[in-house]
Chain A
Amino acid sequence: MKIHSKTLGTIIAIVIFGGILGASAMGLWKTESVRNPNSVQRNQSIGEAAREDTITGDYYPADIRGNHRFGEISEMFNIPLEVLSHAFVIPADVNPANFQNQDFESIYPEFEGEQEIGNGSVKWFVALYTGLPFEFEDDEENTYLLQPAVDILKNHTDLTAEQIAYLDAYTIEIEFEQVEINTAEDGADNNEEETVRKQDEMVVAGKTTFADLMDWGLPVEKIETIIGGDIPNHLMLVYDYCAEKGLPFGQIKAKLQVEVDTLNP
């Protein structure tokens, strides 16, 4: 059988687009975060926390866009501006009411890529804070929250144990150093607090694999002692391992972090 270029081109287009359409029809075409079952667990756990009387509200966290300002979000979801500002550690010289979600890149350039603070983080925080339903969108698998946001959520809302464990896995722990800056304007000494962020690159989190720990220099024996068994596969997430074995991720993570910290004092 001989094939003409027009036929070949048509078949190529049909196979690619027909295949995509077919996969979509079967629910298999997913360009979003489906890299492990945890993503589903995370979505479900948020959905579980949704209060019935707020589901019919006008605003949904999923509608939050990068050009929304904190002031608008505060009004829409009835979250005090100070809470948003504190949760996302907005610098003192930035007016939180005018801060847009798309500005995170400028204040958190270090939190991009594998651990990202961005629009998805705000959606997630708002969803948990208000109890509104929310599902992560395409490419939000790297969404994390900062420690202050997690602290607020733990104190403000009734989170389930599962949600707390999940939050622990997706928290970026940062240190805050209160730096006193002396200014001599108008002849007076004014103390101004500036928040300085630091991120430890070797932070055990939800997306940490055993391979990451080994890359950081943690001996296999030490890891296996902490997790109480053999590493099944170095590519496995520590979080997945704990979920599979019914281990408390928060405790395992803390123990591993202690060991990791000793490697790089």
Chain B
Amino acid sequence: MKSFTKNKIWLRTVLQIFFFILIALIAVNHVLKDSGIEIPLLSNASLHAVCPFGGVVSLYQFAAVGTFTQKIHQSSFILMILVFVLAILFGSVFCGWVCPLGSIQEWVGKLGKRLFKKRYNHFVPRRIDQYLRYLRYIMLIWVLYATAMTGKLAFGDIDPYYALFNFWTGEVAVTGLVVLGITLLASLAVERPWCKYACPYGAILGITNLFSIFAIRRRESSCKSCDICTHECPMNIPVHAVKVVRDHQCIGCLECTSEAICPVENTVIFATKGNL
């Protein structure tokens, strides 16, 4: 049996930092392009061109008239397909391993953990929280509907991801900055508040958790029911109470697994069906 010492899923942290810096530099390069100074060997694409959600919101228009929504490019479609491939295999790992907005919420949350200790990530009463978790589907439906009706990025003015990497350019709507500010502030008390309650892309990727090939699985025979997996879960999923985590909120971070926090070897694992 392992001790309760947490092992770091270090590669996840490395990838999160890498993607955050990469997107930040691309955003800077995009602005620098016009002044003739560019960072060599780095794309100067717009932020919309490297966002897979752009592909999702363009689906209707692409199917209906064969064009993309304004500001969306073919690269968004490619990224959307790649992320869906990952999601079918592993669930919404894009959220836990790649998305820079998720990463920054997580990093701000580390400060929140120090501030609020055990109360951190447990402020919202469960009876309310369980319903709030479905708000992001309302957001998803609104975004898809509004974009389909107008042919414009309906989400653009409130998108905290765009605001995060463009706040310094003066091109971000005030609403976007406000949403980003609220998100980061709320991250001090709640882990990944945007992901949990509002992210439309997380909503659609979360659906793949219900049928992804790999999932978090708990071996009941060796489980000591210490509940530490549940306590560690950033998305407050009761891992200790289920055999397979098929929760639409799981971000595949692996922080609950035997590789990270579970004290018993080979008990909480990320595996295919039948592995237990």
Contacts and interface: CB of A to CB of B under 8 A. Distances in A.
Partners in one complex: yes
Contacts of A12: 15, 86, 90, 93-94, 97-98
B270 A8 contact: yes
B35 A2 contact: no
B64 A29 contact: no
Interface stretch (A53-61, A80-88, A231-239, A248-256): A231-239
Interface string B8-51: 01011011000000000000001001111000000111100110
Given A30-B74, A114-B70, A235-B61, A139 B151 contact: no
Contact of B15 (A4, A9, A30, A102): A9
Contacts of A29: 74-75, 78
A32 B49 CA distance: 8
Interface in A1-39: 1-6, 8-13, 15-16, 19-20, 23, 28-36
Interface string A119-157: 100000000000000000011000000000000000000
Contacts, number: 147
Interface in B65-91: 65-70, 72-75, 78-79, 81-83, 85-86, 89-90
A67 interface: yes
Interface string B239-272: 0000000000000101001011000001001111
A9 B275 contact: no
A66 interface: yes
Interface of B: 9, 11-12, 14-15, 30, 33-36, 43-46, 49-50, 61, 64-70, 72-75, 78-79, 81-83, 85-86, 89-90, 93-94, 97-98, 148-151, 171, 214, 252, 254, 257, 259-260, 266, 269-272, 275
The 8 closest A-B CB pairs, nearest first, are A65-B36, A31-B45, A66-B34, A9-B11, A31-B49, A19-B82, A30-B74, A2-B271
Interface of A: 1-6, 8-13, 15-16, 19-20, 23, 28-36, 65-68, 101-102, 112, 114, 118-119, 138-139, 207, 209, 211-212, 215, 232-237, 240
Given A13-B15, A138-B33, A138-B44, 6 more contacts: A2-B275, A5-B11, A5-B257, A11-B86, A12-B94, A15-B85
29 contacts: A2-B270, A3-B270, A5-B257, A5-B260, A6-B11, A12-B93, A12-B97, A15-B85, A16-B83, A16-B98, A19-B81, A20-B82, A28-B74, A29-B78, A31-B49, A31-B50, A32-B49, A35-B67, A35-B69, A35-B72, A36-B67, A36-B68, A65-B34, A102-B35, A118-B34, A138-B45, A211-B149, A211-B150, A237-B67
